[in-house]
Amino acid sequence: MEKYIEIDGNGVVYCPYCRQGRISYFILKNEGLDTYICEECDSTWFSIDDIFDDEKGQLLIPYLRSLGYAERITPEAWSRIAEDKGLLLVKDVEDVAEKMGVKIAYI
């Protein structure tokens, strides 16, 4: 089966799991960790390569709890935890997709 990643008309990358949400790029402030999160299903990855690996995604809230964030993740709490770096764009994933043999599908 051919693997692909969906990209919208604005060049934004969509989640390979739910195919509904856009992926945003954040940096977890205390950890200094690159984090990519689906806005719809909360799937979370820690590198662009991980987005293309079916085994690497995990859910955001359990992961944050494993780091000791016990508070309810409100927008105010989230702004203390993570720095928003914007939506993940096709230009950010093209090289990795090619390297891993994943097709880019424009929707």
CB neighbours of residue 83 within 10 Å: 12
Q: What is the three-class DSSP state of 85? A: strand
Give the pLDDT confidence of 70-99 residue by residue, as tens digits.
667 788 888 889 999 999 999 999 999 999
Is the model more confident about 67 or about 22? 22
What's the maximum distance between 2 C-alpha atoms anywhere in the chain? 42
Give the pLDDT confidence of 12-57 residue by residue, as tens digits.
999 999 999 999 999 999 899 999 999 999 999 999 999 998 889 9
